[in-house]
Amino acid sequence: MKNKATMLLIAVCTIAITASVLYATLLVLSPSVLAQQSAASLDPGVLRWGYLAAAVATGLSALAAGIAVGSVGAAAVGAVAERPELFGRTLVLVGLAEGIAIYGLIISIMILNRLG
């Protein structure tokens, strides 16, 4: 059961990475979209790299969070099975592992705000 849950989390994170990289690739390949969005009169090359950096930050943090939640969650389930009073503590640890994805999302939002 542990391996199925881990593989499911990794699959979901991989889909998120694929979608974000695809979006960044579409922006890189279509200069007309970049010309319309460049209200701050930035160089289109800077915008391309900025969008790619935001996509990579979100995608890799989602992948890392999936791997972390998979391993921490499996250990948490084992700990709760032996000692049910540890449920609250294990829930906090799983939440900390989820925080990795939130940090990556915050970084990508900061990058996109700098691009204008």
The answer to whether 10 and 66 have CB atoms below 8 angstroms apart is yes
pTM of the model: 0.63
**Banded model confidence at residue 6, pLDDT cuts 50, 70, 90:** low
Segments making up each domain of the chain, as ranges: 2-115
41 Ramachandran zone, left/alpha/beta (phi>0; psi -120 to 50): left
And the tokens for 114? Answer: 């700098």
What's the rounded Cα separation, in Å, for the pair 69 and 65? 6
Q: What angle separates helix 44-82 from helix 87-115, to the nearest 10 degrees?
A: 180
The answer to whether 24 and 59 have CB atoms below 8 angstroms apart is no
Architecture, CATH, for domain 2-115:
Up-down Bundle (1.20)
Taking 60 as the threshold, does the pLDDT of residue 33 lie above it?
A: no
User: Which range is least confidently modeled, 9-13, 27-31, 54-58, 59-63?
Assistant: 27-31
Q: How many CB atoms lie within 10 A of CB 89?
A: 13
What's the rounded Cα separation, in Å, for the pair 88 and 98? 15
